[in-house]
Amino acid sequence: MLHTDIPTEAELRALASTRSLHCISIYLPTSTLAAEAEQSRTELGNHLASALEQLEAVGADKADIAGVRDGITQLIDDSFFWTYQSSSLVIFATPERVLTYRIPNRVTATMQVSDRFHLKPLLRAVAFPQAAFVLALSQNALRLIEVTIEGSAEEVPVADLPADASRIFATRGNSGSARLIGDEGDKTLLRHYSRQIDDAIRPLLLSAHVPLIIAGAEPLASIFRGASRYDGLTAETIRGNAETMSADELAAEARPILDRLYAAEVAALGERVSDAIGTGSGSADLSDLARAATYGALSTLLVDIDRTISGFVDEQSGAITLSDSEDAVDYGVVDEIARRALLTGARVVAVRADEIPGGAVAAGIMRFPV
């Protein structure tokens, strides 16, 4: 099972606000398998050695170097910690403390040393957390399954959720209504059943705000879809007999649906950004984006999750100065644009290179011209 702890929006903003003389950011692919976890520990040791070399090269204080070395070494030596991993591990270290996040996305191994944290690879996991609810729906049984970002799947008890449709169908004999006879009567009763379900689960869905996936057969699946008021209901349905599927089986069926859902969201976002560039209300030029991020003018920003461009962004004007090599002084320009956009309330999504209009390293939509 994957063990994850994706940062909350508040935690992400706190990370984006952190400034320290020495900030080390390490991204590492990991695994729940013991042999691969051991390989990740070794790779982390190599990243630590590179970070210490950069700190020494810029004349960092010996106490700061020791703080970074000791903090990350303690993590490497913690066998219990390495037993519970996800697809990737993110480490943010300063001489004073070490923060870790386990994320379900597979990231490219990288290490950055600067005066701020390198957040860009983390943003995809925050934007698309891979959590959902599955409504296992039939006339004879009803379950709401929570599929967590940790990979687990458990039935969620819901107050006032009917166990099945038996009570609804029992009203047919008492009503004397001709409308409730035959196939059309069945559909009328199933609509009542669906509205009861929607009323019961709606408060939980609104508080979690993750996708809801229906698992069930027709015509009930379509009838519930017509009754649901939840805007996070996915277009795709898990077909088949939901009564016979375990929670884990439903979760396994939900994963590819979530992958396709998020791929469609990214594609739609890319089209919006491309349209904005075409009308002059967006840009894929780094200089424009850096200035817009500095003045709070970005509403939406797409950034390449893998590519890094070293340099600096002026604190006041947003002017970019590029650097020929990476060291412990400069930082990723695109990452800094993303950081400033985050702190001014923009939606920032890290994507793959082919998901950004024109293959640019970043592209965004402006709130206002700068």
N- to C-terminal Cα distance for the chain? 48
The answer to whether residue 114 is domain-embedded is yes
Average of per-residue pLDDT across 290-299: 97
**Rounded (to 5) percent helix, strand, coil in the chain:** 45, 20, 35
CATH of the domain at 203: 3.30.420.60
Residue at 70: amino acid letter: D
What's the confidence (pLDDT) of residue 142? 95
Q: 151: pLDDT confidence band, cut at 50, 70 and 90?
A: low
Which of these three, 50, 85, 118, is where a domain ends?
118
Considering the domain architecture, whether residues 15 and 114 belong to the same structural domain is answered as yes
What's the confidence (pLDDT) of residue 2? 66
The answer to whether residue 50 is domain-embedded is yes
Considering the domain architecture, whether residues 46 and 92 belong to the same structural domain is answered as yes
Q: pLDDT tens, 58-75?
A: 999 999 999 999 999 999
CB atoms within 10 A of CB 308: 19
CATH of the domain at 79: 3.30.960.10
Which of these three, 118, 146, 171, is where a domain ends?
118
Considering the domain architecture, whether residues 297 and 349 belong to the same structural domain is answered as yes
Q: pLDDT tens, 78-120?
A: 999 998 888 899 999 999 999 999 988 888 899 999 999 999 9
The answer to whether residue 123 is domain-embedded is no
Considering the domain architecture, whether residues 224 and 331 belong to the same structural domain is answered as no
Lowest-confidence pick of 23-32, 174-183, 220-229, 305-314: 174-183
CB atoms within 10 A of CB 35: 7
Considering the domain architecture, whether residues 305 and 260 belong to the same structural domain is answered as no
Dihedral sign computed on CA atoms, order 237, 243, 246, 249: negative
Distance CA 162, CA 165 (A): 7
316: pLDDT strictly greater than 70: yes
Max avg pLDDT among 2-11, 121-130, 157-166: 157-166
366: pLDDT strictly greater than 60: yes
How many secondary structure helices (H) and strands (E) does the chain include?
Answer: 12, 16
The answer to whether residue 4 is domain-embedded is no
What's the confidence (pLDDT) of residue 326? 67
Considering the domain architecture, whether residues 206 and 287 belong to the same structural domain is answered as no
Q: What is the number of domains present in the chain?
A: 3
328: pLDDT strictly greater than 70: no
Q: pLDDT tens, 199-252?
A: 999 999 998 889 999 999 999 999 999 999 999 999 999 998 999 999 999 999
The answer to whether residue 104 is domain-embedded is yes
- The structure tokens listed for 19 are 């400034």
3-state secondary structure (DSSP) of residue 146 = strand
Q: Tell me the pLDDT of the chain averaged across its residues.
A: 90
Nearest to 6 by CA among 88, 66, 80: 88
What's the confidence (pLDDT) of residue 323? 83
The answer to whether residue 272 is domain-embedded is no
Percent of all residues in the chain with a pLDDT value above 70, rounded to a whole number: 94
Considering the domain architecture, whether residues 309 and 358 belong to the same structural domain is answered as yes
Distance CA 14, CA 203 (A): 29
Distance CA 227, CA 222 (A): 9
Which of these three, 264, 297, 318, is where a domain ends?
264
Query: Is residue 106 a contact partner of residue 87, using CB atoms and an 8 Å limit?
Result: yes
Considering the domain architecture, whether residues 326 and 218 belong to the same structural domain is answered as no
Considering the domain architecture, whether residues 71 and 165 belong to the same structural domain is answered as no
pTM: 0.77
Lowest-confidence pick of 28-37, 194-203, 310-319, 350-359: 28-37
Average of per-residue pLDDT across 277-291: 96
Considering the domain architecture, whether residues 254 and 139 belong to the same structural domain is answered as yes
The answer to whether residue 206 is domain-embedded is yes
Percent of all residues in the chain with a pLDDT value above 90, rounded to a whole number: 69
Considering the domain architecture, whether residues 240 and 317 belong to the same structural domain is answered as no
The answer to whether residue 124 is domain-embedded is no
Considering the domain architecture, whether residues 222 and 325 belong to the same structural domain is answered as no
- Domain limits for position 76: 9-118
Residue at 175: amino acid letter: S
CATH of the domain at 289: 3.30.1330.30
